[in-house]
Amino acid sequence: MTGSAGLGDTGAFGGEGDAGLLSPVSASPLVGALTGDRAVLAAILAVESGWAAVLEKAGLAPAGSAAVVSAAAEPGRYGVAGIARRAQGGGNPVIPLLADLRKNVQALDGTGIGAGKAVHTTLTSQDVLDTALMLLARNTVEALLGDLKRTTAALASLAEEHADTLCVGRSLTQHSLPFTFGLRAAQWFHGVAAAGRQLEGLAYPVQFGGAAGTLAAGTVLASGSPNTPFSLADALAAQLGLAAAPAPWHTNRLVVTSLGNALAAVLDAFGKIAADVLFLSRPEVGELAEPRAAGRGVSSAMPQKQNPVLSVLVRSAALQAPQLVAQLHLAAASFNDERPDAAWHTEWPALRQLLALALGAAVHIRELAGGLQAFPDAMRRNLDLAGPLLLAEGVGAAVGPLLGTKDGLTGKEQLQAVVDQTLQAPSGEQSATYRKLLRDAVPAGVLTDLRLEELLNPASYLGEAANISRRILAAFPEYAATPALPDTDPNGDPRG
């Protein structure tokens, strides 16, 4: 143990004992294990340990160094809270952690091989922290994509199951045209799958560059050996399972902003689903209901309430994402000189919060999609509220061209007049009024009663709804199938 150990620990997002009390969407063991302070610490130590292994393999550090550094880099040896407080001295957590790591390496180097020579040689705090955050992001996104693909598989099943389930489409809050719940689920799937594919396309590159991005110290280190600073950086990338980088990216932050954009896109897609479920599960709408679980959705004052908490939590994450991404872009546009000052520091909490929110929301949206209850009878009831007026567009397209000019009005204008007159009738009488006025306006020779009923059947005016759903699912086959995932999360807890 070093002097920093035993000083307490921190939770997922910052202050000592912070367990996410005011961020319930991301308050879970899985999120904490992958994005919490201890995960950051472990990632920093992994970078230092990985670099020691690279140097030893390249013959640039004493034999046996990597094993000593690896043992000293065991995260359990370090107290996060103490390191966090001491980080104020140098402005980042790598500096105090590195001091403790060196002490531990010295203590464990029992045979005196000089393993300390392998610690942090030619690296900078930014090299280590940027690379560590790429490790953190890669691990988090990997878990996120697992939940995301379970979500899309559930949405694909809903789309197929309800391909012919009629509901009402809404535009600017009003009933617009007949729709299907299958297409709605397919559009949800489309948003999530497209965002997931964007997320899968990201690279997580190693950072290297040294004090000013010239690799001067690395050049000196590698002189006289077959290695170059570039080959050593590529070896570190391979050691950590990250992408090689063609050059240092100290102040070129597209890597970070691209990650932020992709995470925000995922949360946008999640937020759309949550917003729809929140509306459609209102008692007066009643078309959907969230899956129930003991203790979920309760009210502190109203025992009869069943709140759609999953959707509330997911939407809360989606509403936070844009500001966090904006912070990443603001930082990227403010990175000055060859290595930056405070702009770099503002990236860390914004990026980590995005990762935590996306992963937390993914867990909830997976459960929501997998257990969502659909009520076709309520969908049909709401569809019928507008009556045959909902088919006015289709009637106009089919019948308008068949009508000649009358009283100076074209066929389209005559049919619009029928709609306008209908809307003046009480809402309970509009259905019968529209049918009567339409029948009076269109001669039987132009439109038979049978053809009229066909035009006023909502199922007759769905356009290409079924084909659109099929095309969406076919465009993302890898997201439509249920993925095989581990039975436990990285924290050892069951993944239900």
Return left, alpha or beta for 241; rule: phi > 0 is left, psi -120 to 50 is alpha, else beta.
left
- Which entry of 225, 282, 292, 299 is annotated as an active-site residue? 299
Return left, alpha or beta for 286; rule: phi > 0 is left, psi -120 to 50 is alpha, else beta.
left
Ordered alpha helix ranges (H), 374-481? 376-385, 392-399, 411-423, 430-441, 449-455, 465-475, 477-480
* Token code pair at residue 201: 């396309």
Ordered alpha helix ranges (H), 392-429? 392-399, 411-423
Residue pLDDT, tens place only, 180-195: 999 999 999 999 999 9
Supply the pTM of this predicted model: 0.91
Alpha-carbon span 43 to 39, nearest angstrom: 6
DSSP string, 141-195: HHHHHHHHHHHHHHHHHHHHHTTT-EEEEEETTEEEEEEEHHHHHHHHHHHHHHH
Give the three-state DSSP class for 461.
Answer: coil
Amino acid at 424: Q
Is 495 labeled as catalytic in the residue annotation?
no
pLDDT score recorded for residue 7: 32
Alpha-carbon span 191 to 274, nearest angstrom: 12
Alpha-carbon span 462 to 182, nearest angstrom: 12
* Residue spans of the chain under pLDDT 70: 1-18, 294-305, 484-496
Is 258 labeled as catalytic in the residue annotation?
no
Residue pLDDT, tens place only, 231-272: 999 999 999 999 999 999 999 999 999 999 999 999 999 999
pLDDT score recorded for residue 21: 86
pLDDT score recorded for residue 303: 53
* Token code pair at residue 16: 């000592």
- Which entry of 77, 86, 253, 339 is annotated as an active-site residue? 339
pLDDT score recorded for residue 12: 41
Q: Hey, what's the torsion of the CAs at 336, 342, 347, 350, to 10 degrees?
A: -140
pLDDT score recorded for residue 297: 56
Amino acid at 166: L
* Token code pair at residue 295: 């203790």
